[in-house]
Every structure is written in C-alpha cells, then in structure tokens.
Structure 1
Amino acid sequence: MRDFDDFVTGRSPALLRFAYLLTGDRHLAEDLTQEALVRAHRRWHAIVGEDGPEPYVRQAILRQYLSWRRRRASTERPVAEPPDAAPHGADLADRVVDADELWTALRALPRSQRAVVVLRYYEDLPDAQIARLLGCAPATVRVHAFHALHRLRSVLTPVPSLRPGGAP
C-alpha cells in the first residue's frame, strides 16, 4: 500500500483545497477529504487505472458535498478563541472585505452551481468532464455556470474607488 501512502502524502493538500473551495469550511473540507480517501483506500487496486486515483477521489469529495445529509444545521461557526483585533492598513482591510464578500456570495449559490464554479474555474475542467462528475448533460453545466456567474456579478458589482483629490 505504499502507492496509497505516496498518493495521500502528495495529493492531500490539493484535494483539501478542492474540498475547501466547495464547502468554505476547513473542518468540513477535512472531513470530506478524509472520507473520500477512506473510500479510495478500500478500492485502491480497482481505481488505480489509466487516469489514476485522483479523479475517483475528487468525484467522491464532490458527491459527498452535494449529498443532502451533509447540509449544516446552522450557519454559526464555532471558534476556540475570539479573533484578534481588526487588521491594520487599508489595503489589507479591503482585501479581507472583498474575500468575505466573495465567500458570502459563493455560500449563497445552490450547491450544484457552486460545484460548477469550483470545477470550472479552480479545477479548470471542461464542461463535458464536469457533466460526467455531476451526472448531468454538458448543457446543464453551462446553465448552472450562467446562473451562478449572473448571481455573483449582481452581488459583487465593483464600486469605482476615488483617487486622492476626488477624481474617479
């Protein structure tokens, strides 16, 4: 099983990032990744084929994410300690606000739309492959992407910033 150990060691960070982009929650992403790796371990000899095990593991993560039993009962996020004081500097503050606004908009998307956005723009997968992963037609993938991007654009409209001196 050395191959499995090497796979986990080498690909876990990328798989965890993929799960995090889907969930927006580090702990849930870790759970999804761990469960997918457990499933992969059970079928390791069957999934190590010409494409390798990564597509199988990514699909397992995606299916677990899309499953209804994975929905959180609450949107509260428990933390061990309260966050420190607000970050200093306008640039950092703007980046934090922008990132928070993006995460909020992504969380508001339906699960299949969010999965399409992550698979298309983070994983850089073609529509046909996304359709196979989601079990739908490529046209459905394009419709999900269209609606997701429309919704994100309507929420994340950039506001022109003023330069010093009041000029736009």
Structure 2
Amino acid sequence: MTTTRQTRAQRREEEFEQLALAVTPRLLRSARLLCGDAHGAEDLVQETLAKLYVRQRSTLLPRLENPAAYAQTVLTRTFLSARRRRSSTELPLGELPDRLEPWGVAAPAAPEDRLALQAALAELAPGDRAVLVLRYLEELSVEETADRVGCTAGAVRTRCSRALGRLRVVVERSLVETEEQR
C-alpha cells in the first residue's frame, strides 16, 4: 500500500514538473510585460508555480482540460492581487538595463521605442496592463481575457479602449521627449 502511494506521489511530481517546464517560458513572457522588470517577473512566475503545485496536490490540476490556460489565469490574478496589496508609497529603485530580454517577444527595433513602450505600460493601472497583455500579446479573445481577469466581456472592451488611449498618449509623449534629448 505504501508503494502505491509513493508511486502515485512520484507520478504527480513528474506531471507537475512537465507542466512547469511547458508553461514557464510563456508565463515569464507575460509576467515580464506585466511587471516591467525581470526580477519581478521571475518572482511572479515562481509564486504562480507554487500555487499550481498546491492545486496539483489537491488533484484539481490533472483533471483540467487546459492546464496552461489555468496557469496563465493564476499568473494574471496573482499579479492583480499583489498590485492591490502593494503600498502606494512603495517605489522600485534602480535603473533600467541597457538590454531587455523579453523572452521571445518580438520587440520594437529601436531601443528607445522598447523603453518608451515599457515605460508606458508601467504607467497604466495593473488591471489595464493585464488586459492589454492578455488581449494583444497572448492574443486571447475578449471572453477569455474576461475569464482570466475575473470581469465581464464589456469591462474588458472598455478597459482595452481606455488603456490603449492612455498608452498612445504616454508613448507619444515619451518619444517626443526622447527626440528632444537628442
């Protein structure tokens, strides 16, 4: 009987390891865009994988039809929860790196464009940033995005529209400032 339990536990461990290896690159890419920095993205992915591990032990995860989509949902909701808890006085310190590594994301050609886009995303509210990343990077439908964020499809459409408007203003302002500095 103990060997059956051990075998079952080992099988669950192996299944989780395979899932983690399969979803981590995509989770890192999304987390990088949500967080705006590599360290925060790695922490977010680690926290997401820890939550998935706990769910896997309760035997919910193996029964899911699409565990990768579930992992993306957990990542997004973990990000939003952390942003809600974060103190409004907490500010990250340090300088932006010279080279960004967005893990397979096709980046704009010019470094100043990349920095402008990253800075613009950082100025958006966490919910708006999450909606834009899911809709336009992950290429999810409005309904899938609504499901992952935990709101209605109408709210996703509204958020996308307003966030894109804000994003355009911030990117244009940033590009003008960059041109003036040259």
What corresponds to 1:140 in structure 2? Answer: 155
What corresponds to 1:77 in structure 2? Answer: 94
Q: TM-score, normalised by structure 2?
A: 0.73
1:156 matched to 2:171: yes
Q: TM-score, normalised by structure 1?
A: 0.78
Question: Helix, strand or coil: the match of 1:156?
Answer: helix
**Identical positions, percent:** 36
Cα deviation, residue 18, structure 1? 1.1
Say how many residue pairs are matched.
148
**Aligned 1:7-156 pairs, distance under 5 A:** 7-44=19-56, 45-67=59-81, 68-70=84-86, 73-77=90-94, 95-156=110-171
Matched residue type, 1:47? L
8 Å CA contact 2:131–2:156 kept in 1: the answer is yes
| Structure 2 residue ranges without an equivalent (≥5) | 1-12, 100-108, 177-182
8 Å CA contact 1:117–1:145 kept in 2: the answer is yes
Give the number of the structure whose residues are more often helix, by fraction. 2
8 Å CA contact 1:116–1:141 kept in 2: the answer is yes
Query: Could you tell me how far apart the structure 1 residues matched to 2:136 and 2:87 are?
Result: 24
Query: Could you tell me how far apart the structure 2 residues matched to 1:21 and 1:50 are?
Result: 26
Matched residue type, 2:63? G
8 Å CA contact 2:23–2:71 kept in 1: the answer is no
8 Å CA contact 1:64–1:70 kept in 2: the answer is no
Cα deviation, residue 110, structure 1? 0.9
Cα deviation, residue 145, structure 1? 0.4
Cα deviation, residue 70, structure 1? 4.4
Query: Could you tell me how far apart the structure 1 residues matched to 2:92 and 2:52 are?
Result: 30
Higher relative contact order (CA 8 A, sep 6+): 2
Inter-CA distance 100–41: structure 2 relative to 1 (3 Å threshold) = same
Deviations 1:88-119 (A, max 9, x none): xxxxxx71111111111111111111111000
Question: Helix, strand or coil: the match of 1:48?
Answer: helix
Matched residue type, 1:98? D
Matched residue type, 1:134? V
